[in-house]
A and B are shown apart, each in its own frame.
Chain A
Amino acid sequence: MSWIDKILPSGVRKEEGARRSSVPEGLWKKCVKCDAVLYRPDVERNDDVCPKCDHHMRIGARRRLDIFLDRDGREEILTDIEPVDRLKFRDKKRYRDRLSAAQKATGEKDALIAMRGTLQGMPVVTVAFEFAFHGGSMGYAVGEKFTRAAQLALSEGMPLVCFSASGGARMQEALISLMQMAKTSAVIERMKVAGIPYVSVMTDPIYGGVSASLALLGDINVAEPDARAGFAGPNIIEQTIRQKLPKGFQRSEFLLAHGAIDMIVHRNDMRDTLARLLGKFTGQVPVVPEDTEDDASSADASGSVESIDLTDD
C-alpha cells in the first residue's frame, strides 16, 4: 500500500491492482510527466501547471480563456456556428455520429471557442482550440469561427489572440477542411495589411493543417514550454526517413532555436507577457487588475483531458 492509500479514508480506497484509482475525484490530480500526485486546488491556482516539475498540463478551451482574459466584461461570441457534414462522410462510423459523440462528451458544438473581452484592460478577441473535441481538428466550423473572430477584430480594431492545440485538418470534411487553411490565412493577411496585431500561442500539440496556416502566421508566435508543433507527425517522419528523431524534436525549444517562434512563455506569465506586447502594438497601457492572482483558483478545470478519471464504480 502506498502512502497515499494510507492517508485516504477507507471509502475511497480501492482493491489491489487498481493503483491509480486511489485518489478521490476532484481533490487530487496526477501529473502525467513526473507522476507526482498533486492537490488539485494547488494545480488550479498554478494555471494547471505542475507545481513540482512545471509540466504544462493540457487544458480545455474554456479553462484557457478563463485564465487568460480579465474576469469582467468577457462574452462568448459566434456561438451559432455548427459543423456541417457536407460529404455525408462515413467510415467505420458516420461522421455525424462522431460529431454528436464529441458534442456530448465536451458540451461544445465544435473545436473552437471564441470570446471578446479585455486583457489587462485592453480590448481583445480571443479564440481557443478544444483539443478534446476531435483532436482540435479544423473543419468548416473551426475555420469559419476563426475567420469571423478575425473579421470582428479587423472591423473593431482589436487584437486577435489564438491559443491553438490541434491534430490538423479534419479528414472527415476532406477538401473543405483543407480550404479552411487558405481561408484563415487570407483573413490573417488582411489583418497584417490593416495593422491589427495577431498573436498565435501554440500549446501542445499542433500539427498538420493548423500548423501550416493560422498557428504560424502570428505577428508574434509564442509557444508554451515543451509544446510539440510541426507539419508532419513524428511517426510519419520516422517512417519516411527510417531514422530515430533527435531528442526534443518539434518541441518549443526546437522551434525557438530554429527561428519559428519569438519566445517561449510560461503559462503563469502569459497574461503579463501578451499584455505587455499588445500594449506596445496598440499604443495602450495594460492595467493589472488587483485580484489577478486569485483568478485561476476559482476556475473550473473540467475541460482538462489529462485529469485522471477516478470515479469509483
Chain B
Amino acid sequence: MNPNYLDFEQPIAELEVKIEELQLVGTDADINISEEIRTLREKSAKLTEKIYANLSPWDIVKVARHPRRPYTLDYISRLFTDFDELHGDRHFGDDRAIVGGTARLNGRPVVVIGQEKGRAVKDKVLRNFGMPKPEGYRKALRLMSMAERFKMPVITLIDTPGAYPGIDSEERGISEAIAQNLAVMSRLATPIICVVIGEGSSGGALGIGVGDHLAMLQYATYFVISPEGCANIIWKSTANAPEAAAAMGVTSKVLQELGIVDATIPEPMGGAHRNVDLMAERIQAHLIKELDRLEQSPVEEMLERRYERLMSYGN
C-alpha cells in the first residue's frame, strides 16, 4: 500500500505509479507515450473525482488526518506575511503544540494562533502531536488579549487530536485553561475568525475555537469525541469508528446544516495536500472577505451578535 494515499485512494495510487513509470521511460520524447500519459492523467483525475464524490464521514476523518495534510505552519507561511512567532504563557512555559504570533493578512496586522501537529517524527514529538497542554491555551489567551489591546483581529487555525490527556496537563489545570479561553473569547473586543483545517477534536479544539465566524475546510472534521473514542464507549471496540463517525455527523456538511459552522471552504480535488498553494489561496480569500464584513459593523454590535449566536446553539 502506498503510504501517500489512503486505503480508498489506492486505485488512484496505482494509476499515479503507472504515470510516473511512463514519465521515466518517456524522456526520449516518444509521442505515443506522452499521449498515453495524458490519458492516464485524465483517468486519474476522473477516478479521484468519482472517489471523492462519495466519501463516507469516516473517509473524511481519514483525509482530515492524512499524513501529508497541510498543517498550521504550512498555511501560516502562505496566508500571511511578516509572521513573528511569539512564545510562552509567562507562567510556566512555551507549548510548541500551539503556534502563535503577529502577522499581516494582505497588509492588515493580525494575530494568528493554531495547533501544529508536526511533520517529521522528531517534529511531531516536539509538537506533542498537536496536543496542547494548559500553557498552550494560556499562551493563546495571552496573545488574544494582546490582539484586543492593539485592535488586531484574531485568526485561529484548528487542527488537534485533542488537548493532552496527561498527569502534568491535569496538574496545571487543563480544564480551567480551556474554560477560561471559552469565556474570554466570547467577549474579546476584536474580530475572531476560526478555521478548522484538519481535525477539530473536542474541547482541545474549542479552546481556540470561539469567535464571530467558524469555517471548515471541505474535508476537515469537528467532533465532541473522536469516532474511535465514541465507538469504544458504545460498542466497546474502535472497529466501529466508521459507524460512530456517521452517527455523530463530523463533517462540515452536517455541521453547517446544524448552524454551527458558517462556511465550508472547498478543497482542491483529492484534498488540500494535493495542492497546498491553491488551498491557501482559497483560505486567504475567505479570511479577507469575512474580515471585511466583520469590520463593517461597530465592535459592540459584533460582540452582541457573537453572544446571541453562542446563546442560540442547539435552539
List the interface of chain A (C-beta within 8 A of B). 84, 86-87, 89-92, 139-140, 143-144, 147, 169, 171, 173-183, 185-190, 192-193, 208-209, 211-217, 229-232, 236-237, 240-241, 243, 245-246, 249-250, 258-260
Contacts and interface: CB of A to CB of B under 8 A. Distances in A.
Contacts of B255: 175
Contacts of A92: 234-235
A10 B235 CA distance: 44
Which of B164, B171, B210 gathers the greatest number of chain A CB atoms within 10 Å? B171
B165 A212 contact: no
* Chain A interface, >50% SS class: helix
Q: Which of B223, B224, B235 has the most CB of A within 10 A?
A: B224
Interface in B158-175: 163-167, 169-175
27 contacts: A87-B258, A91-B243, A91-B247, A144-B315, A147-B311, A169-B202, A171-B230, A171-B233, A175-B249, A178-B202, A178-B206, A182-B182, A185-B179, A186-B182, A186-B186, A186-B187, A189-B183, A189-B184, A211-B179, A212-B174, A212-B175, A213-B203, A232-B174, A237-B167, A243-B167, A258-B171, A260-B173
Q: Which 7 pairs from chain A and chain B are nearest by CB?
A: A232-B165, A140-B314, A186-B186, A185-B182, A179-B313, A189-B183, A211-B175
A89 B247 contact: yes
A259 B177 CA distance: 12
Interface in B97-143: none
Contacts of B175: 211-212, 215-216, 229-231, 260
Interface string B242-265: 011001111000110010100000
B225 interface: yes
B150 interface: no
A259 B179 contact: no
Nearest to B187: A189
A193 B303 CA distance: 14
Contact of A91 (B186, B202, B244, B307): B244
Nearest to B255: A175
A249 B171 CA distance: 9
Given A212-B178, A215-B179, 7 more contacts: A91-B235, A91-B244, A143-B314, A171-B234, A185-B183, A213-B178, A230-B175
A73 to B, nearest CB: 29
B176 interface: yes
Contacts of A89: 247-248
A259 B207 CA distance: 20
Contacts, number: 179
Contacts of A209: 202-203, 224
Given A186-B311, A189-B186, A236-B165, A181 B206 contact: yes
Contact of B224 (A171, A215, A236): A171
B222 interface: yes
B183 A192 contact: yes
A232 B235 contact: no
Nearest to A170: B224
Contacts of A90: 247
Nearest to A84: B314
Contacts of A232: 163, 165-166, 169-170, 174
B285 interface: no
Contacts of A213: 178-179, 182, 203
A212 B179 contact: yes
A241 B165 CA distance: 8
Contacts of A240: 164-166
B239 to A, nearest CB: 14
B256 to A, nearest CB: 11
Nearest to B180: A217
Contacts of B183: 185-186, 188-189, 192, 217
A193 B167 contact: no
Given A181-B206, A237-B167, A176 B173 contact: no
Given A182-B206, A183-B310, A212-B175, A246 B167 contact: yes
Nearest to B178: A212
Interface in B295-315: 307, 310-311, 313-315
Contacts of B222: 175
Contacts of B307: 186, 190
Given A174-B248, A186-B186, A231-B169, A143 B313 contact: yes
